[in-house]
Structure 1
Amino acid sequence: MKVALRAVIALGLLAGFYLLVGLIVVLAVVIDIGLIVRGDGQGIQAGIAITLVAMALVRALIVVSRRRSGNEHGVAVSAQQEPELWRTINNVAERVQTQPPDEIRIIPDVNAAVSEDTRYLGLKATKRRMYIGMPLLLTMTVDEMRSILAHELGHYSGSHTRLGAPVYRGRVSLIATVRSLEKHPFVQKIFVGYAKFFLRISLAVSRRQELEADEHSVAVAGRSAAASALRKVHGLAPAWGYFLDSYVGLIGPAQARPADLFGGFHALVNNPVRQREMAAMISEQGERSPYDSHPALPDRLAAIEKVAETYIDPDDRPATTLLADASVTARGVEEAFLAPPALALPTATWEEIVARGMYEAANRAAVSDLAIAGQRTTGAAVPTLDAALEALARGHAPQLRADLVAAGWDDGERLLD
């Protein structure tokens, strides 16, 4: 009841936000008309100020309303392509007493989510989508994956996605509005206060919805699998970010792409050192904030332990058994993930990419300094290594050395050997 009341309050605050914007716009119009009718110039500064505020508000809402999500993330898989995955999801949907999604997409992220296209402020659903991270399928067991699926489908069961659509748009609109009022600090403070109150209420609802969805995880997969899946996701998420920055980021410098991108991530998280690092990250309890969209991990684990346990026939097989051919699916997601220039590069092993990429990154600054020094010495049109070599061939080593020392190089005996 408390959650339902907060949800109603959140929607009411959202309506109040648009009403507040409307009142300011109407006030600006009334004041401007009054100034025109009076024609004596009194109050013109106030009129200009309120008009500028109204224009900023309207501009912010127009920008938000025109935003489009663009192409859907990941790769859509049909029931013909992935029959076992669809069968499992349909079975879980039946267990949590909701309709299955209309579309399933495999995404390159440590995440799973559901969305619902709606009309009439969420009263009518038109299309449901489920997003499943390829890294999750590679690292979870079947039971853990069923737990994750039950959690996400539980959001459908509780109609969370219908409430989430208008509330999320409200959050985006409020944030855009606050940012648009930077030149109007007084009015901005009013909207900042309104936004904080709205966010505290709406995000409290979101946290409660997450706990409700966790109850579905336990009912479908059991407490052990639900807790294990949560711990894994909390450890895998930062590991995925590290993988993208430290390994995938080397594709450009190495001028080669991996033959198996997700295989590299699987090898990374199965490394004993990385496993200890992930375990340490999971054990760290961050500060709780009223603006968190999810409860803290310890709170979720504690809540799971209080949910009534039901007997589940265990299935510890890798979640990839839910896929017809995990390597084919992973390759399709990889091709959708990498940009066209990266896809055009030749393939190489991860060992080769790391070696080439790190060498290139380590020597990039030195090569740049040498090319610029060569350009200055020879008067070449652009800085190139050829210009530096030409300077040496012409006997201009002293000038080249001076430029490199000026760039911060050590003036040792073997500087240009």
Structure 2
Amino acid sequence: MGTPARPTGMSTAGRAALAVAMLVGFYLLAAGIVLGVLGLDIALVVETGRFNALIGKVVLVSLAFAYPVLRVVFLTRRPRERGEAHGLLVTRAQQPELWARVDRIAERTGVRGPAEIRLIPEVNAGVREETRLLGLIPGKRHLVIGAPLLIGLTEAELDSVLAHEFGHYSNRDVRLAGVTVAGRTAILHTIESLHARADGHQAEQEAELRAKAAKRLAKGKKVSDEEAGGGVDRVLAKLFTQYAKLYFRVSESVSRRQEFAADRSAAAIAGRDATAAALRRLPLLAAAEDFYLHRYATIGWSAGLLPMPGQVYGGLAELLADPKRRQELAELTLDQDEDQADPYDSHPPIAQRVAAIEALPEDGRAAEGSGSALVLLREAERTLADLESVSLVPEAATKRRVEWPELVQTACLADCREDCQPVLTALTSAGLPGTVEALLDAIDAGRTWELAGRLPRDERTTAATGLAAREAARPVFRGSLARLTVLALAESGLAHWEFSWSTAAVLHLPDGWDEAFTSALDAAVADAPDTAPLRTLLTTAGLTPAAH
């Protein structure tokens, strides 16, 4: 496949040194602004030999320019990077196999391993070191591993992820990160503070201008077209913003090179193919987890339900094991459009990273570690349940834990009730009971379009008039009738939703309803409505909506 091209231009070390120099330059820029304006004031006084009212105004303007920089950059305490521990702490005694794996990868990378490991619910892994003096003095190391990585990666792919993270240690990237993070924090804090001050000044100016405008209007005078601005704070914020863009481009360029270097470390330890496969799988795994959490794990949240303990995160394994879902994931491809790469992103596009790894020589290690990484966890379901207890919001403790079929049935029934609220409100506001029988009776009484007019309307339906308005309202009314019919069946136990990992929940209606239901709805909302077919279906199913 050929030898990958070596990066040209400034080396990573050179760019890192430049990033540090630019951090120093940030403070020099701020100091230069303060000292510069004060120096001009002093020079003006010395040159004129006196201090009069005009010079006093100039000095005040200079102080107004220098004070925001002095206060925001040098006198205001910036928020610290706390690095607060989160996730589930797992000890060597609790998870010896996982710790052994981590120790082995750290040893093969040639670095000191972490002092603690924590499991987190995100598709992510990372290292953190409690360094001092902007990363110059090393300290205790921490490793976080996302539970979805254990669920969705093979052992070899997990090795690759771990080797990548330890590769940052071997390249001293973690220490350099202390400098770049300090610079980013300082610059962003300065810009945000200056913009906040500018917003406050602008709000005050706008209030003054509105008051002046009201007085001028009261006197019959023309209102001034003067606009409020952020004053000198806004000017300074824009100046520092330009400096920030340059700093971020340099510092993130260093970070991107570090990512490539860590990928090469991973390939050397876990194998080329496993590393490329892990890189491909990570974005797909993130998409799968997001889909799973929204469509499965939290589907019953508003109904007061959650899956059984361990399944809020662990159910992802079931989704990934389903053949149809696996096929859907296999059909997803990486976005190869490199024009979309963000110069301010600390990570290169996945496609570039995969290409760089696949350009490495074949190492003959394609079959190593093909088993699921979840086997590294002892009592995996209990461990994932423990992760739920430390990562879910406190409200989760109030939810009832149920098996998947009950969860889906209850959640879908609750959603159906919510979807029926507009038509139930329309019925009650018209003085009718909130039942499908009452809706059918209203149709027979010629009140279809009266009730349709009480349903929520979109912009197109609202704008329509005459026959067009009726035709626009017809499908809305038909949908409301269908949902209310399904609700009546479901609440009577005559219809249910089937849980499936392969598809969304499937609604099962009584036997013989699949085609007959469609035609019965069409008949009920026709210009000459006929509710008899739908009434017959309901009676046959076991409901008796008799005509009145």
With the shorter chain as reference, the TM-score category is: 0.7 to 0.9
- 1:228 Cα shift? 1.1
Give a deviation string over 1:95-147, Cα, whole Å, max 9, x none.
11100011111110111111111001111111101111111101211111111
- 1:91 Cα shift? 1.1
> Contact 1:57/1:181 (CA < 8 Å) preserved in 2?
no
Seen in structure 2, the aligned counterparts of structure 1 residues 27 and 358 have a Cα distance that, compared at 3 Å, is farther
- 1:325 Cα shift? 2.0
Aligned to 2:143, the other structure's residue is in SS state strand
Aligned residues: 395
Partner Cα distance (2:99, 2:398) in 1? 33
Partner Cα distance (2:416, 2:40) in 1? 63
1:381 is matched with none
Q: TM-score, normalised by structure 1?
A: 0.82
Q: How does 1:15-30 map to 2 (within 5 A)?
A: 15-24=24-33
Q: Which moved more, 1:358-367 or 1:293-302?
A: 358-367
Name the amino acid aligned to 1:170: G
Aligned match for 2:155, one of 130, 135, 142: 142
2:104 is matched with 91
Q: Which moved more, 1:106-115 or 1:10-19?
A: 10-19
Partner Cα distance (2:289, 2:275) in 1? 21
Superposition RMSD in Å: 3.7
Partner Cα distance (1:224, 1:290) in 2? 28
> Contact 1:251/1:342 (CA < 8 Å) preserved in 2?
no
1:329 is matched with 383
1:342 is matched with 396
1:299 is matched with 352
1:241 is matched with 290
- 1:358 Cα shift? 4.2
> Contact 1:115/1:130 (CA < 8 Å) preserved in 2?
yes
2:314 is matched with 263
Name the amino acid aligned to 2:321: N
2:488 is matched with none
- 1:191 Cα shift? 1.3
Structure 2: stretches of 5+ with no match in the other structure: 1-9, 199-232, 439-448, 458-472, 485-544
Name the amino acid aligned to 2:351: P
- 1:369 Cα shift? 9.1
> Contact 2:105/2:162 (CA < 8 Å) preserved in 1?
yes
Aligned match for 1:357, one of 395, 398, 411: 411
Q: Which moved more, 1:319-328 or 1:83-92?
A: 319-328
1:64 is matched with 79
Seen in structure 2, the aligned counterparts of structure 1 residues 218 and 35 have a Cα distance that, compared at 3 Å, is same
Aligned match for 1:205, one of 231, 248, 254: 254
Name the amino acid aligned to 1:315: G
RCO higher in 1 or 2 (8 Å CA, sep ≥ 6)?
1
Give a deviation string over 1:311-362, Cα, whole Å, max 9, x none.
5582222212222222222111122221121123110123433443344345
Question: Sequence identity, in percent?
Answer: 35
- 1:249 Cα shift? 3.8
Q: Which moved more, 1:260-269 or 1:98-107?
A: 260-269
> Contact 2:452/2:477 (CA < 8 Å) preserved in 1?
no
Q: How does 1:114-193 map to 2 (within 5 A)?
A: 114-182=127-195, 183=198, 184-193=233-242
- 1:53 Cα shift? 4.8
Aligned to 2:140, the other structure's residue is in SS state strand
> Contact 1:28/1:54 (CA < 8 Å) preserved in 2?
no
> Contact 1:147/1:217 (CA < 8 Å) preserved in 2?
yes
- 1:165 Cα shift? 2.2
Name the amino acid aligned to 1:134: A
> Contact 2:41/2:62 (CA < 8 Å) preserved in 1?
no
2:442 is matched with none
Partner Cα distance (2:409, 2:349) in 1? 39
- 1:258 Cα shift? 0.9
Name the amino acid aligned to 2:250: I
Aligned to 1:115, the other structure's residue is in SS state strand
Partner Cα distance (2:70, 2:138) in 1? 34
Partner Cα distance (1:307, 1:244) in 2? 37
Name the amino acid aligned to 2:175: R
Q: TM-score, normalised by structure 2?
A: 0.63
2:335 is matched with 284
Aligned to 2:17, the other structure's residue is in SS state helix
Q: Which moved more, 1:230-239 or 1:355-364?
A: 355-364
Name the amino acid aligned to 1:210: E
Partner Cα distance (1:365, 1:306) in 2? 54
Name the amino acid aligned to 1:254: A
> Contact 1:288/1:296 (CA < 8 Å) preserved in 2?
yes
Name the amino acid aligned to 1:42: K
Partner Cα distance (1:356, 1:334) in 2? 22
Partner Cα distance (1:166, 1:80) in 2? 36
* Larger Rg, first or second structure (1 or 2): 2
Seen in structure 2, the aligned counterparts of structure 1 residues 176 and 365 have a Cα distance that, compared at 3 Å, is farther
- 1:26 Cα shift? 5.3
Q: How does 1:367-386 map to 2 (within 5 A)?
A: 367=421
Aligned to 1:203, the other structure's residue is in SS state helix
